[in-house]
A and B are shown apart, each in its own frame.
Chain A
């Protein structure tokens, strides 16, 4: 047990939040928050630099007793899958601070504190090696997110915050019961690794699978428990949307990867067709809904449902291409959709409308902005050369290998994606500038550029040279598949 790097990564934002409490000037608050998040990112990069990609074992493990009477430990550790998301969370962290630099002009301190606490909790979720600890992080996220949506959100923020809170709470409480059942079946331990090594009877696995499914499906979100998402996205401030789309939605899929698949392999294999069918449904249904939207944020929100459908499809294809594609697609979705929300936020700040009907011809007024928009739209469409292409291709080939019908449906979803995304770009950026003239639109300024550029870089990097990213997840994904198939084949 060496240097507690993971604890440092998780609790740096908390320490930063504590410092913020003592600051008075808004600008000092902003700069400090930015500094803290950048420091956190630096720590994450240091972690990645010494991360061993050749093994699937957990790394940087820390373990301390917490509630010994119940076998609860404070245990952190990461493998390839979590490493990618830890990095994604830290990457989006400072971008969120930049995104709310001017957009949040009241109660700045409270906002930044919520943001930093939120980041710490999200990092904790990805690092936790103890189910109880995981649950504490997982559930505690409700508090800052509720406040971020409810205090700094748009018109209907209170309703959206309530809905978000109750949906996720009800889902995760069932997960909690599942965790406790697992605890007793797994020999009274909350240790994730020990529980993974257990062999549970199929009957128990089935029940647990559905208890977990409810919690994770709400977070992903899968159809039909997705209805909180558009509300939350539309009402949340830009940074809130970025967090929601970028990281929070990944938690559900991460839950499948960390718990459902390895701990309940037989049930996972048994219900994989159901899960793929649900994923295909989400892909098409989300796409159709996105097609019908006029509100920019709603469009991106519904497209998230569709895109996350690809992720779960890849995961439950239960083959290596699908799994790696699904995981990579989670990262891609975080980058691309995070950027799209950022861009929507920027334009909303300037015009105070999100209705596409009121835009047009932005290309002349804001050439940089539209160029970036084009890049991210193409990325969301999974054009070759962009990040999503790699992920989506892997998912689709995995999906086809697993089930022809599901694969075919998913392709249909990809087609829909092209339709609504290009439609959106056309309405916003091209055409006559008649309405654009009504607003005085400034182009992207330097601060905003700083926030967007790294995301753009990742779009191209993953698109052109995905190897380093796939390397990180490769060993862990292979190991996960081996676990599922060796134990799940008994079914």
Chain B
């Protein structure tokens, strides 16, 4: 690699470098920080992300391949990186008070989040199975640790252990697929692999490899049948981390799926049948099991499975609109899901966990404003206009019908009617029950900012979706 090429590569990956360097510096600084100075870490972490964001914006022009074809900085990656920045910054803002309540004082918390962010960024930009792997692992290992961050809580430990074991297995499966691909085609580049997979006749070994790789990736987005870890891990992890995981890593998983499998594969092969089955089963399982949950975090875990299913419908549709619909879906999902998680996190105060749905009875009576926000997020998650959630679903359905999959669209909407039931049930508890206790939400200014921001996103994208739609359409692969 010549110096010029190296410089080019470094430039293309500058946002990642900023984040990783920032994380390392904070790791060291964190050791020297006196007690009670934790807010500095939050602001420093937010600053790191903001710098990375501005660098990303500056580089957002033409697509720049880097590192000998293992990495690319294109508009597709930029779009996803902004979803990750959004998720990470909001998680930082939500963490301040929560960390205090839960006794998470250590600086590693923020550093790990930053490193997980860098992993997701690499995933979005990876154009080689090996760089995908590096990104996936960087992200996954950080989230394993973060899941178990409530060291004194058994639930958290158990969740982390479960996550580590299942996650490693899925990584193993993924790696096995990669090695098969390399053995059969002699390359790990995504383009070459896609070309080989779409070639005719198809090597059955290669098909097996693809199945392994898909399985590894589907684990990350939590689709059936690799969803088992989600409810336990989501419930056990600190709520801030749950919020983060439900948005960031999930979007990163979709970024890889879209990049690896979409462009050539879905259009020319019958892979969509597998994906369609996956989507239907995932959505059905998520929706039906969520119906019987009493724990808010568990319910949101199943809801996130259902939403992953809906997003996979967009993958099934394929084509420019299909890809754009998944991207827009993920963006909108991050706003509304972080919003609803913010309200759950804010309820964690003193001895009040905020995790039991019944505990919210009569919330609207004592806190009408906050209840209205929850109503907004919940109706958005259910996909009722004029919220953004409706537009997200609408665009996926448009993509499906455009491809001629009307039946799939019908199934999707019927399942989302079922999903609507459990969101509305929470609204019912909030609005139609008598309060049994006083509510003292931990409403810090940072939480307020997060709530306001996500609310504006949830209602704003719903009312004025044009700009965001264009953004997604412009950021589509090869667009």
Which A residues have a C-beta under 8 Å from some C-beta of B? Answer: 65-70, 107, 110, 132, 135-136, 139-140, 142-143, 146-147, 150-151, 157-158, 161-162, 165-166, 169-170, 173-174, 176-177, 180-181, 183-184
Contacts and interface: CB of A to CB of B under 8 A. Distances in A.
Contacts of B414: 170, 173-174
A177 B406 contact: yes
Contact of A147 (B365, B397, B398, B431): B431
A146 B424 contact: yes
B432 interface: yes
Interface in B349-407: 364-365, 368, 375, 379, 384-386, 390, 394-395, 397-398, 401-402, 406
Contacts of A165: 420, 424
A174 B432 contact: no
A173 B413 contact: yes
B406 A169 contact: no
Contact of A143 (B384, B466, B470): B384
Contact of A140 (B386, B427, B470): B386
Nearest to B473: A69
Given A177-B410, A181-B406, A140 B417 contact: no
Contacts of B386: 136, 140
Given A69-B470, A140-B386, 7 more contacts: A140-B385, A147-B431, A151-B431, A161-B432, A166-B417, A177-B406, A180-B394
A421 to B, nearest CB: 34
Contact of B432 (A66, A140, A150, A170): A150
A107 B434 CA distance: 13
Contacts, number: 85
Interface in B412-430: 413-414, 416-417, 420-421, 424-425, 427-428
Contacts of A146: 424, 427
Contacts of B469: 67, 69-70
B413 A174 contact: yes
A173 B417 contact: yes
A170 B417 contact: yes
Nearest to A136: B385
Contacts of A70: 395, 398, 469
B432 to A, nearest CB: 5
Contacts of B465: 67
B409 interface: yes
Contacts of A135: 385
B94 to A, nearest CB: 26
A181 B379 CA distance: 25
A397 B409 CA distance: 42
Nearest to A135: B385
Contact of A166 (B413, B421, B431, B432): B421
19 contacts: A69-B473, A70-B469, A132-B394, A136-B390, A140-B385, A143-B384, A147-B431, A150-B431, A158-B428, A161-B428, A166-B421, A174-B413, A177-B406, A177-B410, A180-B397, A180-B398, A180-B409, A181-B406, A184-B401
A184 B404 CA distance: 10
A177 B393 CA distance: 11
Majority SS at the chain A contact face: helix
A219 B23 CA distance: 57
B78 to A, nearest CB: 19
A359 to B, nearest CB: 30
Looking at A66, A139, A142, A173, the one whose CB has the most chain B CB atoms below 10 A away is A173
A173 B416 contact: yes
Contacts of A147: 431
Contacts of B402: 184
Contacts of A67: 465-466, 469
B344 to A, nearest CB: 21
* Chain B at the A interface: SS class: helix
Nearest to B382: A169
B424 A140 contact: no
B227 to A, nearest CB: 24
A170 B431 CA distance: 23
Contact of B428 (A136, A150, A176, A181): A150
Nearest to A69: B469
A176 B406 contact: no
Contacts of B398: 70, 180, 183
Nearest to B398: A180
A169 B416 CA distance: 10
B413 A176 contact: yes
B175 to A, nearest CB: 40
A142 B413 contact: no
Interface-central residue, A132, A139, A146, by most chain B CB under 10 Å: A146
B390 A157 contact: no
A151 B432 contact: yes
Output the residue of A150, A151, A165 with the most chain B CB within 10 A: A165
Contacts of A173: 413-414, 416-417
A6 B398 CA distance: 29
Contacts of B401: 177, 180-181, 183-184
Interface in B316-348: none
A382 B399 CA distance: 50
B467 to A, nearest CB: 9
A139 B384 contact: yes
Contacts of A181: 401, 406
Residue of B379, B385, B401, B432 most packed against chain A (CB within 10 A): B385
Contacts of B420: 165-166, 169
A162 B385 contact: no
Nearest to A207: B406
B432 A177 contact: no
Contacts of B425: 162
A66 B466 contact: yes
A170 B368 CA distance: 29
A300 B406 CA distance: 40
A140 B384 contact: yes
A262 B16 CA distance: 57
Contacts of B368: 110
A183 B397 CA distance: 12
A15 B392 CA distance: 27
Interface in B428-447: 428, 431-432
A184 B409 CA distance: 14
Contacts of A151: 364, 431-432
A129 B394 CA distance: 19
A181 B368 CA distance: 40
A69 B471 CA distance: 11
A383 to B, nearest CB: 41
B428 A162 contact: yes
B385 A139 contact: yes
B415 to A, nearest CB: 10
Nearest to A159: B428
B330 to A, nearest CB: 18
A176 B466 contact: no
A473 B244 CA distance: 56
Contacts of A174: 410, 413-414
Contacts of B416: 173
A183 B416 CA distance: 21
Contacts of B473: 69
Contacts of A184: 401-402
B420 to A, nearest CB: 6
B313 to A, nearest CB: 13
A110 B368 CA distance: 9
Contacts of B417: 166, 169-170, 173
A107 B384 CA distance: 24
Contacts of B395: 70
A193 B431 CA distance: 41
B390 to A, nearest CB: 7
Given A140-B385, A147-B431, A68 B466 contact: yes
Contacts of B427: 146
In this complex, which of B386, B417, B421 has the most chain A Cβ atoms within 10 angstroms of its Cβ?
B417
Contacts of A110: 368
Given A69-B473, A70-B469, A176 B397 contact: yes
Contacts of B431: 147, 150-151
A181 to B, nearest CB: 6
